[in-house]
Amino acid sequence: MSRESRIWGLHAVTAALRNDPENISRLLVDRGRRDKRLKEVLDLARQHQVKVEQVDVRQLEKEAGGDRHQGVVAHYQAPEALGEDALDDILEAAAQPLILVLDGVTDPHNLGACLRTADAAGVAAVVVPRDKAVGLTPTVRKVASGAAESVPFIQVTNLARTLDHLKDRGLWVIGTAGEGGQTLYDVDFRGGSVLVMGAEGTGMRRLTRERCDHLVQIPMLGQVESLNVSVATGVCLYEALRQRRG
């Protein structure tokens, strides 16, 4: 299933034109812009026979809700998030999957950045709770720069139950917490693993924390007590990638 949405920004629109052009119904571009990056968008649109409309900046600003559109907005039949039933197919397709769980991330910029890093680190799926967490908004898609279309995004109604299911399938659940008894570098990510990141400010909820096989912390040597969730996610995912490649 899909629903009409809007995406904007050169990276997000270019990714949609490359990977999913049949779901773009309209492409609006700044009639006053002439540069190499926009030419790439226009060339892709021509290649995939996507209709282009030259409009003024005010219309683009309205279409993007005042966000930074970089001269391009697409009307897009965005695929909806997957349900928890999709997890088993994903687990079957990967020998030692790495799953990223975000427990209640509400900032679309953080979610978009996490998706982008998840794509780069080879994450098999990103799992989030359906309630009290941000979904695949246009801002998320813009920040993700195409990763919202390439990484399976799964919304679940009961995150604790989903973690129990992942544990039953043989995956180790590794949660991040400032009071974790181990550091990130003390645990083994080489097998099937679930990395759980808490929400901005509040961290993991109690039921989520109770499902973790390990609680780990990122060593902090300076005056700052914690990292932004998207930065922390990048640190953790690339330690997992380092171990899995080694």
- Counting every residue written for the chain, the total comes to 246
Q: What is the CATH number of the domain that holds 178?
A: 3.40.1280.10
Split into its structural domains, the chain has a count of 2
Domain hosting residue 43, numbered range? 2-79
Return the residue matching tokens 């973790």.
Answer: 212
One domain for residues 46 and 6: yes
200/236: higher pLDDT: 236
Q: Tell me: the pLDDT tens digits for 166-203? A: 999 999 999 998 777 899 999 999 999 999 999 888 88
This prediction has a pTM of 0.83
Q: Are 71 and 81 spatial neighbours (Cβ–Cβ below 8 Å)?
A: no
One domain for residues 217 and 115: yes
Q: What is the CATH number of the domain that holds 7?
A: 3.30.1330.30
One domain for residues 30 and 8: yes
One domain for residues 117 and 29: no
* Dist CA 157 CA 131 (whole Å): 7
* Dist CA 33 CA 42 (whole Å): 12
Q: Tell me: the pLDDT tens digits for 47-83? A: 999 999 999 999 999 988 888 889 999 998 877 788 8
pLDDT tier at 3 (50, 70, 90 boundaries)? low
Average pLDDT over residues 191-216: 93
> Widest CA span of the chain, in angstroms?
57
Query: Best-predicted range by mean pLDDT among 39-43, 85-89, 236-240?
Result: 236-240
* Dist CA 92 CA 97 (whole Å): 9
End residue of a domain, out of 79, 114, 148 = 79
16/89: higher pLDDT: 89
Return the residue matching tokens 């299933």.
Answer: 1
pLDDT at residue 1 tops 60: no
One domain for residues 96 and 202: yes
One domain for residues 35 and 145: no
One domain for residues 103 and 65: no
One domain for residues 70 and 131: no
End residue of a domain, out of 44, 79, 114 = 79
What's the chain's average pLDDT? 91
End residue of a domain, out of 79, 100, 133 = 79
One domain for residues 141 and 206: yes
User: Which element (helix H / strand E) includes 54?
Assistant: strand 52-55
One domain for residues 112 and 61: no
pLDDT at residue 23 tops 90: no
One domain for residues 144 and 73: no
One domain for residues 108 and 133: yes
